[in-house]
């Protein structure tokens, strides 16, 4: 199976991992945070602002492999405070709708890569 390792323009570049790996028709998106392309955490202190940036980064990562949020079949969401779950639910519904949302797991963690980060979402998409 051929694999394509993608480092999309507009996302922070990391030498230790690829932002996206495409294997056949399956697209694996590394955990996206509220970092901009320079690595700066945006929306510090605002869960909603960070979630919007996370979804923007997910869209950028998927587009680099010819996919979109409509192709996502699973997400794993890491929250540093489960009290933000209602806000995440509303934002997730905004981007995925309610008709056919992806399978999803939400996990509370003690911290992410930066203490300023409140959310990280990884995704798997299938492009037919």
| 5-38 residue pLDDT tens | 888 999 988 778 889 999 999 999 999 999 999 9
| 85-104 residue pLDDT tens | 999 999 999 999 989 999 99
**Residue 1 confidence (pLDDT):** 76
> Taking 90 as the threshold, does the pLDDT of residue 81 lie above it?
yes
CATH superfamily membership of 3-126? RutC-like (3.30.1330.40)
Contact 97, 35 (CB under 8 A): no
Which one has a higher pLDDT value, 74 or 18?
Answer: 74
CA-nearest of 65, 55, 63 to 92 is: 55
**Residue 6 confidence (pLDDT):** 87
> Taking 90 as the threshold, does the pLDDT of residue 41 lie above it?
yes
| 48-63 residue pLDDT tens | 999 999 999 999 999 9
Residue 26, CA distances (Å) to 23, 54, 69 in order: 5, 20, 13
Q: How many CA atoms lie within 13 A of 98 on its CB side?
A: 2
**Alpha helices, DSSP H only, in the chain?**
47-63, 85-96
How deeply is 26 buried, as exposed, middle or buried, from its count of CB atoms within 10 A (0-12, 13-18, 19+)? middle
Q: Quote the tokens at residue 97.
A: 């709708």
> Taking 80 as the threshold, does the pLDDT of residue 44 lie above it?
yes
**Residue 13 confidence (pLDDT):** 85
């Amino acid at each position: 199976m051929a694999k394509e390792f993608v480092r999309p323009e507009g996302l922070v570049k990391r030498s230790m991992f690829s932002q996206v790996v495409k294997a056949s028709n399956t697209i694996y998106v590394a955990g996206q945070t509220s970092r901009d392309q320079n690595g700066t955490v945006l929306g510090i202190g605002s869960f909603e602002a960070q979630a919007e940036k996370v979804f923007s980064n997910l869209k950028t990562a998927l587009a680099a492999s010819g996919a979109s949020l409509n192709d996502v079949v699973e997400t794993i969401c890491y929250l540093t405070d489960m009290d933000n779950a209602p806000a995440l639910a509303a934002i997730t519904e905004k981007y995925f709708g309610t008709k056919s949302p992806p399978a999803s797991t939400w996990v509370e963690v003690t911290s992410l890569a930066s203490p300023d980060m409140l959310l990280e979402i990884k995704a798997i998409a299938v492009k037919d």
